[in-house]
A and B are shown apart, each in its own frame.
Chain A
């Protein structure tokens, strides 16, 4: 298992190097001149040139790249041009908001999709199977920003049972003491039930819209994978040995069927990272997605660079985790490494 971990870590290094190069190039190739933008509309060419020198944008690309690498090695992602804040601090501040939203959505999706998929496969052709089909079709065909807007419209505007989509917490409530950065956990830890309720009601709509979106591929994969495993020879052996239906379905079938579901889970998580940007925009959620969108709109390249880099590292770490999970479930993977 340790060998597997080390070999997977080794393969992650080239990916990270690639990501660093790409983020650097990408932000330099984006349309729009940051110097012109920050010098202001009425700025003279001299003023723009001054800003450019100040930002170091007048140097050659290789020189800029070396500077970027050196900064990166010091854990410095540069400063945002519009707020003047260090990008690292902003990302660290905003990451818990995005992480809380994504994880709640993911838990919600997994908690519904896997039982639904398993039941649909075990009771193939019954109402639960049809329900599974409807849910997956709906989930695939509704884009996440649409579900988000629709939910805000129905539950906030029409029914008025949800709070206004304006961030993590109502303006009248104060944020809980920062322990993990997750409002739900921190408010419980500090015993602040009112804040917990407030945070939960703000979180509900964006988390549900993201869960609906990620539920479909998970439920579909669980159902399909369960169906093929239930028809396999070794499940027939288990039944022919008289093993209890519970043992056959869970210990024998599900543990085998879960392998492709884990792969899908990794994919779904990366979809969610992308969907974050949209959902955070719709619900004014103060996460890193919203931060990146704002930065992109103002050609503020340091935050964009930082965001892409953070997402890429997160994605690589996630894939590493999926690989390890795979090794944990499937002994054949352990051998291959």
Chain B
């Protein structure tokens, strides 16, 4: 029997209408996240990682339009839901943590109050109980002296502390899915590890599925079960973390790995990927958006992208994989 995934994104396309033309930001993107699983979305800036998350959450900018696809979550399609129903789910069933925790919190509201707002909104606590429940959440994300910190404003706390508050807000109602959008960017390395451990641990305790958006392959390998590699709005490869590191099949994934500092690779042996992302406003985008940068380009690459299964839960979208 196959378990129903926590989230199944199928055939998702998103366009942004801008003054200089329509940008095809996501093109038929699909991936699944099992219950209790942690999946990394990796890729360089502009590859569509955050847009995927925003589309699933239903918080795209007004300029962004979902043009095709489904996002099945708990038996219903998130993309087909009304804003009203989605708002009910957000914060309760699916939550999100953002980068830059200092700006992601309301600067003039006490942090305990901000946690309480979410609890009260989703029935996690009544107004009078909310402050106490908020303090419990602070304790859970291991903030020392939670009673006093609940009264603090974000500007009185460090970046790492603010990110813990963000986690407390996101996990207050025990969501089934957490999307963490570069949660450790801007934090120092030791704080990074603490935050990642905290997310992993709290997720495991409640059987929560986690999508972890990052451009740090090393961090993804360390904390995630599977890795989904994105490039210019396409998913080029998805594989269990170990399989990807041992045996990357897409030329882009291989290049990404070669550009990632590991235990053995010295800084000098790191290779940068030539070229840049194609202009996604072009009307004549090639079928494979990596073809302009690819060393393994063949005539076959002009055909629509294939979806080859090359191993256990290991898919690659390439005509000429490694």
Give the interface of A toward B (CB within 8 A): 232-234, 236-245, 247, 251-252, 255-256, 329-332, 335
Q: Are A233 and B100 in contact (CB under 8 A)?
A: yes
Number of interface residues of B (CB under 8 A): 30
Q: Are A236 and B121 in contact (CB under 8 A)?
A: no
- Docked complex Cα distance between A241 and B96 (Å): 8
Name the B residues within 8 Å of A252 (CB-CB).
106, 109
Q: Are B108 and A330 in contact (CB under 8 A)?
A: yes
Given A241-B118, A243-B118, A331-B108, 16 additional A-B pairs, CB 8 A: A234-B106, A237-B106, A239-B90, A240-B96, A240-B98, A241-B95, A242-B86, A242-B87, A242-B90, A242-B122, A244-B87, A247-B121, A255-B108, A329-B108, A330-B108, A332-B108
Q: Are A240 and B95 in contact (CB under 8 A)?
A: yes
Give the interface of B toward A (CB within 8 A): 57, 59, 86-92, 95-96, 98, 100, 103-109, 117-118, 121-122, 153, 155-156, 166, 169-170
Q: Are B88 and A247 in contact (CB under 8 A)?
A: no
Q: Are A256 and B108 in contact (CB under 8 A)?
A: yes
Name the B residues within 8 Å of A331 (CB-CB).
108, 153, 155
Q: Are A241 and B90 in contact (CB under 8 A)?
A: yes
Name the B residues within 8 Å of A239 (CB-CB).
59, 87, 90
Name the A residues within 8 Å of B108 (CB-CB).
255-256, 329-332
Q: Are B117 and A247 in contact (CB under 8 A)?
A: yes
Q: Are A237 and B88 in contact (CB under 8 A)?
A: no
Q: Smallest Cβ distance from B34 to chain A, in angstroms?
A: 23
Q: How many residue pairs, one in A and one in B, have C-beta atoms under 8 Å apart?
A: 80
Q: Smallest Cβ distance from A337 to chain B, in angstroms?
A: 15
Q: Are B155 and A237 in contact (CB under 8 A)?
A: no
Q: Are A237 and B169 in contact (CB under 8 A)?
A: yes
20 contacts between A and B (CB under 8 A): A232-B103, A233-B103, A234-B106, A236-B59, A237-B98, A237-B104, A238-B106, A240-B95, A241-B90, A241-B91, A241-B118, A242-B87, A242-B88, A242-B92, A243-B121, A244-B87, A244-B121, A245-B87, A330-B108, A331-B155
Name the B residues within 8 Å of A243 (CB-CB).
87, 91, 117-118, 121
- Docked complex Cα distance between A240 and B175 (Å): 12
Name the B residues within 8 Å of A241 (CB-CB).
90-91, 95, 117-118, 121, 169-170
**Among A237, A245, A247, A255, which residue has its beta carbon within 8 angstroms of that of B166?**
A237
- Docked complex Cα distance between A245 and B87 (Å): 9
- Docked complex Cα distance between A255 and B106 (Å): 10
